């Protein structure tokens, strides 16, 4: 059987409920470059084209939030030359994509220990976040200097401070009380996590949020991951039965109070 065209596949995906929030672990830039005899940084440069294409596709599908794992807390340990090159690429991305983001009603967000970013990155990042804050379209979150364990630890510290000040009662704590201290507070629940390059792990990405998210792993290296690959991941998500601890029979009854916990 012939595979549907990309446009036909997009129509098929649009006809079914799409995930509210998609997170992507963008992996394989370095291997893409090395397999072509190029410097690793060229893979990251080519990967920025995938960022633009996937962001556009997610917006067309009506996905509410897209979170991209752009630079992890652990990436600071990479060679200084590579880190500096990545920071320059990030600055270039923020300046180049500024019209795209503002003209398409996208709200830019950043999660992670962004205070560690150099000023030449922080300045355009802060400006674009501020200038897009009233946009009502998709929220594009860049995970920068981000780690899932670091996020949970940061949230626990802030929660402990709130308890010490009497702003919160430890005895009555619920999940929603803890979640207000996470960097992702205000974003929709995470429905789908995609990882490229064939690796089968989440690599410290959105560890709290991933609890009931669907996972999709693809062999495509990030610079090769474009619209068709993204659509296939969303289509795979749409074929899953999401039970959230319930039985199939309960899910099929579509009990609204239970499903709302998604």
Verify whether residue 109 is a known catalytic residue. no
To the question of whether residue 183 is assigned a binding role by annotation, the answer is: no
Q: How far is CA 34 from the centre of its chain?
A: 25
Residue 73 marked as a ligand binder:
no
Q: Is 32 annotated as a binding residue?
A: yes
203 is in an annotated binding site: yes
- Could you give the 3-state DSSP secondary structure of residue 166? coil
76 belongs to an annotated ligand binding site: yes
27: annotated active-site residue = yes
Is 202 annotated in some ligand binding site?
A: yes
Q: Check 2, 75, 104, 224 and give the catalytic one.
A: 75
Q: Binding residue per annotation — 78?
A: yes
Whether 29 has a binding-site annotation, put simply, is yes
Q: Residue 132 and residue 142: Cα distance in Å, rounded?
A: 14
Question: Does residue 107 have a known ligand-binding role?
Answer: no
Question: Which one of 2, 27, 104, 255 is the catalytic residue?
Answer: 27
The answer to whether 71 and 145 are in contact (CB under 8 A) is yes
* DSSP assignment of the chain: -PPPPHHHHHHHHHTSPPPSEEEEE---HHHHHHTTT--HHHHHHHHHHHHHHHHHHHHHHT-SEEEEEEEEGGGGGS-HHHHHHHHHHHHHHHHHSHHHHHHTTPEEEEES-GGGS-HHHHHHHHHHHHHTTT--S-EEEEEEEE-HHHHHHHHHHHHHHHHHTTSS-STT--HHHHHTTSTTTTSPPP-EEEE-TT--S-TTSSTTGGGG-EEEE-SS-GGG--HHHHHHHHHHHHTS---TTS-HHHHHHT-HHHHTT-
Q: Is 195 annotated as a binding residue?
A: yes
Binding-site residue positions for substrate: 28-32, 40, 44, 76, 78, 195, 201-203
Binding-site residue positions for Mg(2+): 27, 214
Binding-site residue positions: 27-32, 40, 44, 76, 78, 195, 201-203, 214
- Catalytic positions are 27, 75
């Amino acid at each position: 059987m012939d595979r549907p065209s990309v446009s036909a596949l997009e129509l098929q995906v649009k006809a079914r409920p799409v995930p509210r929030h998609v997170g992507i672990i963008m992996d394989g830039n370095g291997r893409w470059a090395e397999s072509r005899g190029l410097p690793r940084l060229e893979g990251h440069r080519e990967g920025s084209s995938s960022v633009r294409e996937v962001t556009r596709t997610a917006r067309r599908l009506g996905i509410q939030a897209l979170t991209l794992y752009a630079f992890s807390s652990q990436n600071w340990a990479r060679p200084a030359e590579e880190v500096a090159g990545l920071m320059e690429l990030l600055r270039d991305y923020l300046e180049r994509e500024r019209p795209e983001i503002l003209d398409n009603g996208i709200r830019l967000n950043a999660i992670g220990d962004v205070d560690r970013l150099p000023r030449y990155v922080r300045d355009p990042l802060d400006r674009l976040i501020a200038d897009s804050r009233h946009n009502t379209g998709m929220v594009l979150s860049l995970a920068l200097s981000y780690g899932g364990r670091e996020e949970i630890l940061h949230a626990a510290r802030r929660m402990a401070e709130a308890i010490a000040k009497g702003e919160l009662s430890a005895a009555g704590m619920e999940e929603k009380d803890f979640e207000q201290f996470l960097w992702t507070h205000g974003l929709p629940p995470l429905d789908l996590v995609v990882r490229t390059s064939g690796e089968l792990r989440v690599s410290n990405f959105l560890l709290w949020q991933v609890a009931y998210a669907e996972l999709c792993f693809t062999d495509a290296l990030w610079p090769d991951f474009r619209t068709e690959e993204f659509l296939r991941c969303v289509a795979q998500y749409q074929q899953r039965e999401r039970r959230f601890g319930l039985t199939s029979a309960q899910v099929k009854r579509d009990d609204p109070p239970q499903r709302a916990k998604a």
